[in-house]
Amino acid sequence: MSIVTVQLGQCGNQIGFEVFDALLRDSHSFQGLCSKRENEAYQTSCKERFFSEEESGVPIARAVLVDMEPKVINQTLSKAAQSGRWKYGQHACFCQKQGSGNNWAYGYSVHGPRHEESIMNLIQKEVEKCDSFSGFFIIMSMAGGTGSGLGAFVTQNLQDQYPNSLKMNQIIWPYGTGEVIVQNYNSVLTLSHLYRSSDALLVHENDAVHKICAKLMNIKQISFSDINQVLAHQLGSVFQPTYSAESSFHYRRNPLGDLMEHLVPHPEFKMLSVRNIPHMSEDSLAYSTFTWAGLLKHLRQMLISNAKMEEGIDWQVRPPLSGLPPLGKMSLSKDLHFNTSIANLVILRGKDVQSADVEGFKDPALYTSWLEPVHAFNVWKTQRAFSKYEKSAVLVSNSQFLVKPLDMIVKKAWNMFASKAYIHQYTKCGIEEEDFLDSFTLLEQVIASYCNL
Amino acid sequence: MTQSVVVQVGQCGNQIGCCFWDLALREHAAVNQKGIYDEAISSFFRNVDTRVVGDGGSISKGKICSLKARAVLIDMEEGVVNEILQGPLRDVFDMNQLITDISGSGNNWAVGHKVFGSLYQDQLLEKLRKSAEHCDCLQCFFIIHSMGGGTGSGLGTFLLKMLEDEFPEVYRFVTSIYPSCEDDVITSPYNSILAMKELNEHADCVLPIDNQSLFDIISKIDLMVNSGKLGTTVKPKSLVTSSSGALKKCHKKPFDAMNNIVANLLLNLTSSARFEGSLNMDLNEISMNLVPFPQLHYLVSSLTPLYTLADVNIPPRRLDQMFSDAFSKDHQLLQADPKHSLYLACALMVRGNVQISDLRRNIERLKPSLQFVSWNQEGWKTSLCSIPPVGHSHSLLALANNTCVKPTFMELKERFMRLYKKKLLFSLVTLLDIPIPHVLEQAVHFVACTRHFFFQVFQ
């Protein structure tokens, strides 16, 4: 089943390009350490999911590119075409001349309604190209104007127009210190609106990915290109084909649906995050070997201690002893120690994957009490390796990972809101103070729910 | 992509404007090797086929035929504009986009604003509409003028109200040259205060600059060039003040170097909107991020580096030095010290081979020594443009919405009060039934209001 990606704004389009590039490179440039037949099945599945065919044989990404000013889309289109391996559809872009000016209200209330028809038509065309349609990826940032505001508007429209299809928003969480001054306002408005219309929010934090580039990849001068490539790698390791549960010879048909089913049991809890292991520069990779036991042990501890990557993990954190009630409700004022999960999905790819032991993730102490561990935890194992990694593991988690960052953003936004700074920029486009208040209320509720797990 | 129109008013405005167009051509010539008219060039220039009689048919694609600046030149005396039209840039300007008179405004705001304003209102409107029609998507008017004189100050601010009424959706960015302490125009405090009121009400964003700061920067550069430390000389093209590679060869005018700095400011301000980069910043984002309350829209600017050394092995410390310099008193284009005052917001616009990690590292490093207002502790807006300015490998433009503008405004008010108390030169201003006490008091009131507002906001 196919997934259609909607890339919005500068961030969405820059990342979207890296994602498609990474997916195709993995599927075509690496042998995957498996049989030829298996590899071919993998390639076919990847292609069907993310690309469509054209007479010339060059795969075309199943994507719609949207931006309110032309520079980034032009760049993205030419980069894809230059690679020679794939490209974007000729008429898959929607572009205007003047951007949203980092104004969520402008993206949502002005650009949205004005261009609704054109954008939805483009998406419709892309969906019609799919033989069997699974759902949408929407790639957007929260800090700017187009990705955040127009992204929220488009997601709402997708909800109305395709009520039976799944929508997963890939959200880029901005750096804590300054990218955009009004980023906290834009983020609060985006999250509150997406919470009502999206099915799942897969969050990627710039700060976390930046650290991966610095500490694990050893990149000296980190560019956005580097950051986007790490992100693309993470997404690829989740969404590249995996074996279905029934049989090891068929690739899973509907990963989006299966993932949502496993990870989002309740609509109040839709914030997901990704952790992958190992992650390193190509040079180091040549000299490293891994065992499944080692990888999984680290991954489990990353989950429990809320670590963003495999370096600097706090090994002191332990789950509460089973049989005893959890160690009190989580308090934001103290350092979060133990990260309680609602549901987890681990995806393993590579050599000897069947021998990997994931019992550690089934410990009931890791989870809230409402789901049995057998339902709360799932593992997908695939022989075919991903990218250049002989063994790789990725964890998609619905847990308390994002509570602290979310709380920070809400606090800062509230602080600014209390002084009414910048509000005139939003009210002149139709977003009133009430809309802000509603958004704050919704997010406070989400934070409280996650805290009380 | 969008277009912008430059409206240059008065002697100062036109001289700076002339430098701006010169350097803009130089920059685009350096970046655009193939001579194809592209969207970046179209932001400030039209491509015109001069073989067609009349307006010249506009060509939107293909090779560059003849570039015309999207500019309106206004002056109430002919000297400066005539000189431009006889100089090497004469072909760049559209003859239909000029408004001149003979007598000048006599350094009198009232003459510029009221007399010439009403006299030329229709013509002004017509020229502005024409320039807007030539644009596919007009985003911004850049007004360049001085505050101390008569035309730039009076007529320039008259224009602002007109632009607000006629083109409410288009941003109005004003580059204002404030009079220095030793300004020899006696009426400059009156002119400036009266103009300030208009700026406050009708401009979206104001970049205040003063001659003294520009002069200090020039002196600093001269010192560097002439000191010739062992092995380090300055690359000629890389001076913020240089015109090398541009059309105007003679550098003899004393103000040319100073005007080039302002011209470079405007080029850098618009670079991320014209050229590609990994984190773009459009002109509407400047206003969105740096103007927390409608009236607090005065942005102190600084440009670094002022020059690049010819040393091949420039150590990486140079990059961090660029960031430190941007916050030093000596690099500000206004007599102000943002580092020791309170920031409401700060924008860093970087050009060239600088990546996000460099930017973040420097923000982390400089943050502890800067004071930000309580509701905007991380008040940073950043942008990365891939194309560096001519002669440099990287550059930084810092825009600060900072309380350090207060001393400048207060001082202006003091000078104004000194004249006003002694009822000096009233006759000049009472010329035209302006109810003097009323208008002037309003202007004074405004300055006091701003101060009060700052105070209130930071309680």
A chain contacts of residue B378, beta-carbon cutoff 8 Å: 176-178, 412
Radius of gyration of chain B (CA): 21
Q: Is A324 inside any structural domain?
A: no
Instruction: Report pLDDT for B458.
Output: 44
Residue B1 is nearest to which of A71, A102, A210, comparing CB atoms?
A71
Total number of domains constituting chain A: 3
**What tokens appear for B442 in the block?**
């309003």
Q: Do B284 and A14 touch (CB under 8 A)?
A: no
Is B382's Cβ below 8 Å from some Cβ in A? Answer: yes
CB A145 within 8 A of CB A186: yes
Q: Which of B276, B345, B357 is the closest to A71 by Cβ?
A: B276
Domain membership of residue A13 (yes or no) is yes
Across chain A, mean pLDDT equals 89
Q: What is the pLDDT of residue A244?
A: 73
The whole-chain average pLDDT of chain B stands at: 84
Q: HEC states along A152-165?
A: HHHHHHHHHHCCCC
Interchain CB distance below 8 Å, A416 and B280:
no
Residue-wise pLDDT tens digits, B396-410: 999 999 999 888 888
The predicted-structure confidence for A386-415, as pLDDT tens digits, reads as follows 888 889 999 999 999 899 999 999 999 999
Helix, strand, coil percent content, chain A, rounded in steps of 5: 50, 20, 35
Cβ neighbours, 10 Å, residue A29: 10
> Which helix (H) or strand (E) segment is B71 a member of?
strand B71-75
How sure is the predictor about B459, in pLDDT bands with cuts at 50, 70 and 90? very low
Compare CB distances from A101 to B285, B357, B375 and report the shortest one's residue: B285
Confidence check: pLDDT of B286 > 70: yes
Tell me: do A246 and A370 sit in the same domain.
no
| Contact residues on chain A for B290, CB-CB shorter than 8 A | 181
- What is the per-residue pLDDT across B17-60, written as a single tens digit (0 to 9) for each? 999 999 999 999 888 888 888 888 999 998 887 666 555 566 76
Cβ-Cβ contacts under 8 Å, B1 against chain A: 69-71, 97
pLDDT bin (cut points 50, 70, 90) of residue A375 is confident
Best of A98, A114, A429 to disrupt the B interface by mutation (most B CBs within 10 Å)? Answer: A98
pLDDT at B432: 46
Highest mean pLDDT among A177-186, A240-249, A284-293, A440-449: A440-449
At residue B262, the pLDDT reads 94
Inside any domain, residue A328: no
Task: Please give the pLDDT value at position B425.
Answer: 60
Tell me how far apart the alpha carbons of residues B402 and A196 are, in angstroms, rounded to a whole number: 39
Distance in angstroms (rounded) separating the CA atoms of residues B439 and B433: 11
CATH of the domain at A393: 3.30.1330.20
The pLDDT confidence band at residue B238, using thresholds 50, 70 and 90, is confident
Q: A219-235 pLDDT, tens per residue?
A: 989 999 999 999 999 99
Task: Report ipTM (2 d.p.).
Answer: 0.87
Name the burial class of residue B317, with classes exposed (0-12), middle (13-18) and buried (19+) by CB atoms within 10 angstroms of its CB. exposed
Percent of chain A having pLDDT more than 90? 59
Task: Say how far apart CA B219 and CA B370 lie, in whole Å.
Answer: 27
Over residues A30-42, mean pLDDT: 82
pLDDT value at B165 more than 60: yes
- Print the SS3 string covering B151-205: HHHHHHHHHHHHHHHHCCCCEEEEEEEECCCCCCCCCHHHHHHHHHHHHHHHCCE
Closest CA–CA distance from residue B361 to any residue of chain A (Å):
10
Question: Which pLDDT does position B146 carry in this prediction?
Answer: 93
A-B contacts (CB, under 8 Å): 121
Residue A333 domain flag? no
**Residue A327, in any domain of the structure:** no
Predicted confidence (pLDDT) per residue in A144-164, tens digit? 999 999 999 999 999 999 999
In a domain, A331, yes or no: no
How would residue B369 be classed by pLDDT, with cut points 50, 70 and 90?
Answer: very high
User: Do residue A158 and residue A267 come from a single domain?
Assistant: yes
Q: What is the mean pLDDT of residues B257-270?
A: 92
What's residue B448's pLDDT? 55
- Res. A334 pLDDT band, cuts 50 70 90: very low
pLDDT at residue number B111: 87
Nearest CA in chain A to B289: A181
Residue A74 falls inside a structural domain: yes
* Phi, psi dihedrals of residue B97, rounded to the nearest 5°: -105, 35
The closest of B451, B325, B295 to B398, measured between CA atoms, is B325
A360 and A421 fall within a common domain: no
- At residue A273, the pLDDT reads 94
Q: How far is it, in rounded angstroms, from Cα A453 to Cα A444?
A: 15
Partner residue opposite B293 with nearest CB, options A71, A222, A421: A421
| Chain A contact for B378 (CB, 8 A cutoff) | yes
Domain presence at residue A104: yes
Contacts of A105 in chain B (CB under 8 A): none
Chain A residues in contact with B139 (beta carbon < 8 A): 98
What is the model's pLDDT at position B226?
75
Q: Identify the residue whose tokens are 């990627």.
A: A204
Amino acid at B87: G
pLDDT in tens, A283-319: 887 778 889 999 999 999 899 888 888 888 888 788 7
pLDDT tens for A55-114 read 788 899 999 999 998 899 999 999 999 988 899 998 899 999 888 999 999 999 999 999
- Among A398, A428, A443, residue at a domain's last position: A398
Q: Are A303 and A268 in the same domain?
A: no
Q: Are both A93 and A118 inside the same structural domain?
A: yes
What is the rounded average pLDDT of the residues B291-297?
A: 91
On whether both A408 and A394 belong to a single domain, the answer is no
pLDDT exceeds 90 at position A196: yes
A385 and A419 part of one domain: no
| pLDDT of A251 strictly over 90 | no
Q: In CATH, what number is assigned to the domain containing residue A109? A: 3.40.50.1440
Task: Determine, for residues B288 and A224 on separate chains, whether the beta-carbon distance falls below 8 Å.
Answer: no
Nearest CA in chain B to A99: B282
Say whether domain B3-243+252-409 belongs to CATH 3.40.50.1440: yes
What residues of B are in contact with residue A177 (Cβ under 8 Å)? Answer: 360, 363-364, 367, 378, 380
B457 band by pLDDT with thresholds 50, 70 and 90? very low
State the best of B169, B171, B278, B295 to mutate against chain A, taking most chain A CBs within 10 Å: B278
Q: Indicate if A344 and A378 belong to the same structural domain.
A: yes
Predicted local distance difference test score (pLDDT) of residue A145: 92
Host domain of residue A262: 2-275
CB neighbour class for B435 (10 Å; exposed up to 12, middle 13-18, buried from 19): exposed
In this structure, the answer to whether residues A136 and A173 fall within a common structural domain is yes
The SS3 assignment for B400 reads strand
Put simply, whether B290 touches A (Cβ < 8 Å) is yes
Domain spans in chain B, listed from the N-terminal domain onward: 3-243+252-409
| Residue listed under structure tokens 């039976």 | A164
Whether B434 and chain A come into contact, CB under 8 Å, resolves to: no
Hey, is the C-beta of B2 within 8 angstroms of any chain A C-beta? yes
Cα–Cα separations (whole angstroms), residue A29 to A21, A352, A387, B336: 11, 21, 8, 58
Mutate to test the interface with B, among A15, A17, A71, A104 (most CBs of B within 10 A): A71
Interface of A with B (CB under 8 A): 10, 14, 69-72, 75, 97-103, 145, 175-182, 210, 213-214, 219-225, 227, 412, 415-416, 418-422, 424-425
Q: In this predicted structure, what is the pLDDT of residue B225?
A: 74
Helix, strand or coil, per DSSP, at residue A344: strand
| B382–A71 C-beta distance less than 8 A | no
Q: Are residues B279 and A424, on separate chains, in Cβ contact within 8 Å? A: no
Is A271 found in the same domain as A388?
A: no
Beta strands in B274-364 (DSSP E): 300-304, 342-352
Q: How many residues does chain A have?
A: 453
For A71, nearest residue in chain B (alpha carbons): B276
Q: Tell me, what's the pLDDT at B252?
A: 53
User: Model confidence at A249, in pLDDT bands (50, 70, 90)?
Assistant: low
What's residue A203's pLDDT? Answer: 95
A181/B381 touch (CB, cutoff 8 Å), yes or no: yes
Task: Look at B185 and A209; give whichever has higher pLDDT.
Answer: A209
Q: pLDDT of B329-355, one tens digit each?
A: 999 999 989 999 999 999 999 999 999
The whole-number pLDDT of residue B58 equals: 67
Give the C-alpha separation, A390 to A370, whole Å.
36
Whether residues A164 and A311 fall in one domain: no
Residues A11 and A147 occupy one common structural domain: yes
Reduced to 3 states (helix: H, G, I; strand: E, B; else coil), residue A348 is strand
Residue B122, Cβ density class (10 Å: 0-12 exposed, 13-18 middle, ≥19 buried)? exposed
Q: Is the CB of residue A167 less than 8 Å from the CB of residue A135?
A: yes
